Amino acid sequence: MKKMLSIFLVGILLIAGCQTIPKDALTLSPESLAERQMQTRKYETKDEGKILAACAGLLQDMGFNIDESEPNLGLITASKQRSAVNAGQIVAAVIVAALGGGAMPVDKEQKMRASVVTRPIGDQYIAVRVTFQRIVWNTQGQVTKSESISDPAVYQEFFDKLSKAIFLEGQEI
């Protein structure tokens, strides 16, 4: 009986003792340098405004809506909402349902956010750093994923397009 009681008490404490911030939430991770490099390119220009405008145009190309901008600090933030439906989950849900497991929630929609920060390096270069993150909701309205996007291919493509956008805007096509 005593044992049961103590288990019960510990259980209650665990539930009530609310989650606290993870120890590493505000420390620089060993990967942070590599991530910075992946997310940053520098362009040889002095004109920070021009780069920012090109980034705004590029974000629009990618279907983002601009949420906030602060040219004095070199910042643009943008977001978009998209479907998060993926074939694998649908197949799994259908199989579960067919086996009599009832309706399984699947990912439904996601909000994707981007922020672009520009920073002058010396007198010759402007560094551009972009970061993406997303939140995914399932068919029951629960958050199933909230994460940074760290796929190098995403950043590679972004900067390929940015180079083109800067060229285009520079050329005023």
Partner 1 sequence: MKTRFSLLFFALVVFLAGCATTQQRLLDSESSQVQLRSIQTRAFDTTDKEKTLRTVMATLQDLGFVLDKADATLGTVSATKLKGYALRMTVTIRPRGTTQLLVRANAQYNVQPVTDPEPYQQFFAALEKAMFLTAHQAD
Radius of gyration of the chain (CA): 22
141 sits near partner 1 (criterion: CB under 8 A): no
Among 10, 47, 60, 70, interactor with partner 1 by CB under 8 A = 70
Helices (H), 48-151: 48-61, 87-98
- Backbone phi, then psi, for 23, in 5-degree steps? -60, -30
39 sits near partner 1 (criterion: CB under 8 A): yes
User: Of the ranges 8-16, 54-62, 90-98, 160-168, which one interacts with partner 1 (CB under 8 A)?
Assistant: 8-16
Q: 47 with 73: CB under 8 angstroms?
A: no
77 sits near partner 1 (criterion: CB under 8 A): yes
Q: 166 with 54: CB under 8 angstroms?
A: yes
User: Of the ranges 23-31, 57-65, 86-94, 154-162, which one interacts with partner 1 (CB under 8 A)?
Assistant: 23-31
Q: Report the SS3 class of residue 121.
A: strand
Binding site for partner 1 (CB under 8 A): 1-2, 5, 8-9, 12-13, 16, 18-23, 25-29, 32, 35-36, 39, 67-68, 70, 72-75, 77, 113-115, 117, 119, 129, 131-135, 146-148
